[in-house]
Amino acid sequence: MLEVEGLSKRFGGLAALSEVNLSIEAGEIVSLIGPNGAGKTTCLNLITGFYKPSAGRVHYCERDITGCAPHAIAQRGLVRTFQKTNVLRGLSVFGNVLTARYRQGETSLLRTFFAQGGKRERELRDEAAALIETVGLASRMNAAADSLSCGELRLLEVAVALGASPRLLMLDEPAAGLNTHEAEQLGQVLKRLMNTHLESMLLVEHNMALVMAVSDRIVVLDFGRKIAEGTPAEIRVNPAVVAAYLGKPAA
Amino acid sequence: MAFERNFLLVGLVLALLAPLVAYNEYALHIGVVIMFSVMLATSFNLIVGYAGEFPLGHTAFFGIGAYTAALLSMRFGLPFYGSVLAAAVMAALFGLAIGGVTLRLRGPFFVIVTLCFAEVLRLIASNWIGLTNGPMGLSGIAKPAWIIHFTGVEQKLWFYYAGLLLASISLLISYRFVYSNVGRAVVAVRENRFVAQSIGIWPFYLGLVTFVLAAAISGLAGGFYAYYISYVGPEVFGFSFMITMIIMVLAGGKGTLVGPVVGAVIVVFLEEYLRDFKDLRFSIFGLIVIAVVIFLPRGLMGFVTRRHELYRPRDGGNISKALSGEPDLTARALDTERGVLDA
């Protein structure tokens, strides 16, 4: 579904990402982990068009999307969330998700001004309400987004991303700031979404419990390079990964 | 949404009936100025309040509209509604060109470059004597043929209702726009550009759509102004109209449709009542703006409309508990406090 070949990004003299290969098949949850500064978010930004790569190609559903604009990539069904929680803070929970249905609603300007869009608009509202129920925020439907707790905001962020009808969803540290219980619930929501709403998922995450619980495959980055790839069980015992996180044992 | 619609409809009825109680030239003149100000404020608010950018050169479109209507009327004898419509179209075309350049910039850069465009147009209007008659301006724009035989007060009444019609059209179009799917996307860009992009919204395109719409409404106001004053000079591009627009939108409440309308009415009345203070009234306006920004950052109507602005599902959000039956992640304490605002 997603093929990333030799993806590299330099910021001046700093190689944030070097020659990373990555693939995601339909039906898979792949996690991208690594110590701080390993290049995880950079990798996400490159795939979703927020950065332009210095080298390498990104293919999504047999199409080369390298260098496409972020909104164009999102319109094809590759949707991401952000590390620092990002929602439309001035709107309600419902307004956020309704807005996120933009591409599924009436986008023609002529019809916006001159036609009655009542039916489609009602469908959009029902779909948005259903998505909010899916992530478990139904009781907060009309709350202002900036009144939500950290955990609720993360769920809202997922609902907003779902609003754009993604096929491949990329989550950037969705469990940051959550306690163990909240992270577990988030994991359940994500797994459920794989059966109902999504084809694949890429998870960038530091919370190892969550990563181990949901991932089919894990890719490990360190200093902008891929140092390991495998199932959760393989990664747990991989010496390179242990060294990257804990340092090498003294000689 | 419903609140704004009802508020505007009540306003329309009141405006339709107003001449019954105030049928004299002075009162109708105030009424015409209000109609024209409502158009300008509505137009400026589309960009400031919804798209979230600050075009300090918004008078460019007002001036283009005024000159277009004046020239078409004087050179080609185009009738009132024809040239006013052409003024809107011409302003929209300029909006497309200027917006296409400036909307690639953001924040202070956008502010400065839009201001430059207005200033350039003012210089052209002052110096292209052959077309615009330079600083002397174009005077003697003919009133519509069918009102020439009217008495003074009847002419004012006609302009009042023509202005009311144009202002209503402007507000109707704005209403359809901001409460549409596309309008929501515009607000999404204002709220968070990155989130907007991540859900497939193209910020530049939606900014441009808003900019062109605002330019067209501004041009409409300009065309109307040219006919009413029957004179257009380079000062239509000047900063004083800009200041009026800013005060009206900020005082009334940006990001709501009723705010600029209320702001326009208040500012026009204040200008009249403060006339005795002569130049001092500008200082008073300045103080009002400072006070509004400090004490009412969302403007007079901002507080009233905010609780109505939040979108809600069809049945008012009474949807049963989450299908999953999972416990809420909520800290309920916050809930009740904020809930008052939203319920």
Please give the residue range of the domain that contains residue A219: 2-89+165-246
Coil/strand/helix, residue B232: strand
In a domain, A106, yes or no: no
In a domain, B318, yes or no: no
CB pairs under 8 A between A and B: 175
Residue in chain A closest to B186 (alpha carbons) equals: A99
- The confidence band for B304, taking pLDDT boundaries of 50, 70 and 90, is low
Q: What is the mean pLDDT of residues B193-197?
A: 94
In a domain, A134, yes or no: no
Residue in chain B closest to A122 (alpha carbons) equals: B314
Paired strand residues for B232: B138
Instruction: Report the relative pairing of strands A225-230 and A55-60 from DSSP bridges.
Output: unpaired
What residues in A contact B310, CB-CB < 8 Å? 91-92, 94-95, 142, 144
Inter-chain residue contact A94 with B312, CB threshold 8 Å: yes
The domain spanning residue A202 has which CATH number?
3.40.50.300
What was the ipTM of the complex prediction?
A: 0.90
In a domain, A39, yes or no: yes
The number of folded domains in chain A is 1
CA distance B220 to B215: 9
In a domain, A85, yes or no: yes
Inter-chain residue contact A139 with B182, CB threshold 8 Å: no
pLDDT at B306 over 80: no
The domain spanning residue B306 has which CATH number?
1.10.3470
Question: Quick check: A83 contacting B, CB < 8 Å?
Answer: no
In a domain, B301, yes or no: yes
In this predicted model, what pLDDT tens digit does every residue of A40-85 receive, in sequence order?
Answer: 999 999 999 999 999 999 999 989 999 899 999 999 999 999 988 7
Please give the residue range of the domain that contains residue B74: 22-312+328-342
Residues 32-71 of B with CB under 8 A from A: none
In a domain, A238, yes or no: yes
pLDDT score at B276: 83
In a domain, B43, yes or no: yes
In this predicted model, what pLDDT tens digit does every residue of A75-121 receive, in sequence order?
Answer: 999 999 998 878 998 899 999 999 999 998 888 888 888 887 677 88
In a domain, A218, yes or no: yes
In a domain, B335, yes or no: yes
Select the residue from B169, B198, B209, B319 to test the A interface by mutation, using most A Cβ atoms within 10 A. Answer: B198
What residues in A contact B202, CB-CB < 8 Å? 69, 71-72
CA distance A73 to B201: 10
The number of folded domains in chain B is 1
In this predicted model, what pLDDT tens digit does every residue of B277-289 receive, in sequence order?
Answer: 878 888 888 888 8
CA distance A114 to B179: 13
- The confidence band for B340, taking pLDDT boundaries of 50, 70 and 90, is very low
In this predicted model, what pLDDT tens digit does every residue of B214-256 receive, in sequence order?
Answer: 999 999 999 999 999 999 999 999 888 898 899 999 988 888 9
Coil/strand/helix, residue B65: helix
What residues in B contact A81, CB-CB < 8 Å? 198
Mean pLDDT across chain B: 86
CA distance, residue A80 to nearest chain B CA (Å):
6
